[in-house]
């Protein structure tokens, strides 16, 4: 059962070959047993999960089940869930138990899915390795001495190690796609506004977007059919007709134009990663796709633009954590201002403090025009580059990351090198475009990810391309040996 797809699990539940309670216990046992050294979960509540599973079994028995009824799903600890700790992997929220559900959690609950637990992550989603967590680093199931990527590293590691059939994550600059690539699973960042941000603890509001992790493109489509939807409580949520994200899974690739940007294959890309990605592009050609050259001339500016805009928004969003209303409060202080200072000094980790300082600086008087305004102009240029590229192709393909997973601690003291791990992913966030990563090979025994970027609302098309690729390959079926 641990290698079954969501549709296979749903069929087994419907046929009563297994119950949701039994399925949930199976994954809870794996989390507590072989999965424990990965540190992929922050919170697990077997009693609460099994109660949901029993309710799901009742729905199945009554003939009222949907495609995800009874399926255990792990959720990144950035989504608040009623009665569950919702910490964002920070000391600042270590004791916070949410009184309400995020919209994404509501959607899964309505579908009858089971909350398996809350996954570990970089604190407030600020990081590329899942090492910046108050609860300790997450480890990559393919090599526990390496990082799983971030910030949604706990979710990616959980799916890769078969601790959960699927999981949720968030992507601000690549935080779904990058860990998906480094852990050898599939991850999708939808078009900005397709998935509600209500109840998703904010990092950078104009960039954050929730999305799914799974082992196949078909499973991603099933998850998107639940996650996506308009929410009036989120001012950035898009009111659009409901769509079936699985509708193009069987569409042939004949006639598909795949754009390959030369900017993604230059200096900085590891040769073994490039070879795996080029092999995947050749596989798409064999399936009928036409490969065309495209150009993204401002791609090289995406990282510096992102690391001005995202910290600026973070410095504003995190100002609410002052020790007054909720969250951590320093135990010793001299007056209100000193309480603010000590609370934030003790409650935030080094990476969060670094980004608050950068963000406050670029928004300050005298520097706003020089940094923040200029970064927003570059953001517009990047979006225009994509618009121009999509005039000649249907999807853009390339590497998800410049290298395979690096070793724990290797880049902790070098923030610039850490930030460059997102060099191929941040542009899609700046433009608000949908993008996904799927496994496409191995380099030095570690997974390599292929990134597909589409035009706005092209999620179904991207999933169709990925599915046809996965019908012809088996990279997505590989399991870390210790967790098979």
Residues 201, 144: Cα–Cα separation, whole Å? 28
The Cα–Cα gap between 273 and 399 comes to 7
Pair type for strands 114-119 and 72-76? parallel
Q: Please give the helix or strand (H or E) that residue 441 lies within, else none.
A: strand 435-443
CA distance 350 to 328: 16
- The pair of structure tokens assigned to 183 is 């852990």
Which of 222, 142, 226 has its CA nearest to residue 179?
Answer: 142
Q: Output the pLDDT for position 136.
A: 98
Q: Which residues of the chain have pLDDT under 70?
A: none
Task: Report how far residue 296's alpha carbon sits from residue 224's, in angstroms, rounded to the nearest whole number.
Answer: 28
Note whether 284 and 253 are within 8 A (CB): yes
Q: Are 144 and 157 in contact (CB under 8 A)?
A: no
Q: Which of 175, 216, 302, 437 is catalytic?
A: 175
Strands 395-399 and 166-170: unpaired
Q: List, in order of start, the domains of the chain with CATH numbers.
A: 6-256+393-483 (3.90.1300.10)
Residue 20 bears catalytic tag: no
pLDDT score at 151: 97
The 3-state DSSP class for residue 150 equals coil
Residue 74: strand pairing partners: 117, 167
User: Which pTM was predicted?
Assistant: 0.97
Is the separation of the CB atoms in 212 and 168 below 8 Å? yes
Catalytic residue, candidates 151, 237, 403, 437: 151
76 belongs to the catalytic site: yes
Q: Give the pLDDT confidence score for residue 365 in this predicted structure.
A: 86
The pLDDT of residue 420 is 87
pLDDT score for 484: 86
Task: State the pLDDT at residue 469.
Answer: 98
Q: Would you say 40 and 89 are in contact if contact means Cβ atoms under 8 Å apart? A: no
Catalytic residue among 19, 20, 76, 129: 76
* 8 A C-beta contact, residue 59 and residue 42: no
Region for 205 from its dihedrals, namely left if φ exceeds 0, alpha if ψ lies in -120 to 50, beta otherwise: alpha
């Amino acid at each position: 059962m641990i290698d079954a797809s969501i549709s296979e699990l749903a069929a087994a539940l419907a046929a009563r070959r297994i119950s949701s309670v039994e399925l949930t216990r199976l994954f809870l046992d794996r989390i507590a047993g072989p999965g424990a050294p990965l540190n992929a979960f922050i919170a697990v509540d077997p009693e609460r999960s099994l109660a949901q599973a029993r309710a799901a079994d009742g729905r199945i028995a009554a003939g009222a089940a949907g495609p995800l009824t009874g399926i255990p799903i792990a959720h990144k600890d950035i989504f608040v869930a009623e009665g569950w700790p919702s910490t964002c992997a920070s000391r600042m929220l270590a004791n916070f138990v949410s009184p309400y559900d995020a919209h994404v959690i509501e959607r899964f609950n309505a579908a009858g899915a089971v909350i398996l637990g809350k996954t570990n992550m970089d604190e407030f989603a600020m990081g590329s390795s899942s090492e910046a967590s108050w609860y300790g680093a997450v480890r990559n199931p393919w090599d526990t001495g390496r990082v799983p990527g971030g910030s949604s590293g706990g979710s990616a590691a959980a799916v890769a190690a078969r601790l959960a059939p699927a999981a949720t994550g968030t992507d601000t600059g690549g935080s779904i796609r990058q860990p998906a690539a480094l852990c050898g699973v599939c991850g999708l960042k939808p078009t900005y506004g397709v998935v509600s941000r209500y109840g998703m603890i904010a990092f950078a509001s104009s960039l954050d977007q929730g999305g799914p992790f799974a082992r196949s493109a078909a499973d991603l489509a099933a998850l998107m059919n639940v996650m996506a939807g308009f929410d009036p409580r989120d001012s950035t949520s898009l009111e659009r007709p409901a769509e079936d994200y699985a509708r193009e899974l069987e569409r042939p690739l004949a006639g598909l134009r795949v754009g390959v940007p030369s900017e993604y294959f230059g200096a900085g890309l590891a040769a073994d990663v490039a070879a795996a990605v080029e092999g995947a592009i050749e596989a798409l050609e064999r399936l009928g796709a036409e490969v065309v050259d495209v150009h993204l001339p401002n791609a090289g500016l995406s990282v510096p633009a992102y690391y001005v805009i995202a910290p600026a928004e973070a410095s504003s969003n995190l100002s609410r954590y002052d020790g007054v209303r909720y969250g951590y409060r320093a135990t010793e202080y001299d007056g209100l201002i000193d309480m603010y200072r000590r609370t934030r000094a003790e409650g935030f980790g080094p990476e969060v403090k670094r980004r608050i300082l950068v963000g406050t600086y670029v928004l300050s008087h005298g520097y706003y025009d020089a940094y923040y305004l200029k970064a927003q102009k570059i953001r517009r240029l990047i979006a225009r580059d994509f618009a121009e590229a999509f005039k000649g192709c249907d999807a853009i393909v390339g590497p998800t990351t410049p290298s395979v997973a690096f070793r724990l601690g290797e880049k902790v003291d070098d923030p610039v090198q850490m930030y460059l791990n997102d060099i191929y992913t941040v542009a899609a966030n700046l433009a608000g475009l949908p993008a996904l990563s799927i496994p496409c090979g191995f380099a030095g025994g570690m997974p390599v990810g292929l990134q597909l970027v589409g035009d706005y609302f092209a999620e179904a098309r991207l999933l169709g391309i990925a599915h046809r690729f996965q019908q012809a390959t088996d990279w997505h079926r590989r399991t870390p040996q210790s967790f098979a």
